[in-house]
Amino acid sequence: MKKSILTIVATLLASASLSAAEWKSGIEWVEPPVVDPGPETAPANVPSDAIVLFGGENMDAWNNGENWPVKDGVVYSGKGMVTSKQAFGSVQLHVEFATPSEVKGEGQGRGNSGVFWGPYEVQVLDSYINKTYFDGQCGSFYKQNPPAVNCCRKPGEWQTYDIIYMRPVFNEKGEVVRPMYVTVFQNGILVQNHLQVKGTGHWHMPPKYDAHAEKMPIGLQDHGNPVRFRNIWVREISDSPVQPVKEDSPVKPADVFGSQE
Ligand code: MG
């Protein structure tokens, strides 16, 4: 009896130390080649159907926004993560960011933030001559896929993310019926192309889906670095890439082209 309790304790201790360790996929990625995206540009136009989450004046659209300082039309990553008060399903998201012009730290400690839909992170990092693990550099889908290329501008220069988050679909049992897909353009250059997401990135375990609501907030990460943001807007988009068809249309797209998810 005593022995079996000891065995249980030993097993618990082993699993506790396992869960405290960082999970690494072990995949040896090829280093993303460097591409010069050209000079920084003026803020992008805001489409007429977009919902502006940060237009330069205040962080009223965000939970915890009061802890992120706004100055001269720009918001600085502050204390704690901010999440949009409004939740969204599948979206097109535009974010402009600049990592600190004063270069401090290295690897994951330099200009780290992140753009989230729900629990899923597209990494923000100063990856301009700053090597880290490739599936954790700027433009990566954190710990799942490196960016196709490293197209970071210099520290302090404005950069853009245009992200399409196609939400995952869960059934009533919480099982994944359709996984999430993510497409990301950084500075107008494709870095994630319709990536099939394997789940939430956990620091200590492989990615895994945990069922959640259809609509989730947009989030910006506080990683202790004063990354700046401006001009943040979203457009809610359809869950289907196929356009709506008139109810009385005699032929449906699936009749001609087959079904498309
Ligand atoms: Mg991050």
Cα(224) to ligand 1 centroid in Å equals: 10
Tokens of 97: 């960011």
109: CA distance to ligand 1 center in Å? 9
How much distance in Å is there from the Cα of 56 to the middle of ligand 1? 22
For the chain, how many residues are written? 261
Residue 123 Cα to ligand 1 middle (Å): 5
CA 73 to chain centre: 23
CB 220 within 8 A of CB 121: no
**pLDDT score, position 74:** 98
Q: What is the whole-number distance in angstroms between the Cα of residue 9 and the centre of ligand 1?
A: 35
Instruction: Tokens for 165, please give them.
Output: 């988050």
The pLDDT value recorded for residue 40 is 96
- The predicted model scores a pTM of 0.90
pLDDT for 94 equals 98
Provide the residue-wise pLDDT of the chain in tens; the chain has 261 residues: 444 555 554 544 444 444 578 889 999 999 999 999 999 999 999 999 999 999 999 999 999 999 999 999 999 999 999 999 999 999 999 999 999 999 989 999 999 999 999 999 999 999 999 999 999 999 999 999 999 999 999 999 999 999 999 999 999 999 999 999 999 999 999 999 999 999 997 778 899 999 999 999 999 999 999 999 999 999 999 999 999 999 999 999 999 999 876
CA-CA distance, 30 to 21, in Å (whole number)?
Answer: 25
pLDDT at position 203: 78
| Separation between Cα atoms, residue 153 and residue 157, nearest integer Å | 6
Residue in 22, 15, 11, 1 with CA at minimum distance from that of residue 206: 22
Q: Do the beta carbons of residue 231 and residue 186 sit within 8 Å? A: no
d(CA 221, ligand 1 centre) in Å: 6
Cα–Cα dist 70/64, whole Å? 13
Q: Which residues are registered as beta bridge partners of 216?
A: 88
CA 194 to chain centre: 13
> Which protein residues have their CB within 5 A of the ion that is ligand 1?
112, 114, 221
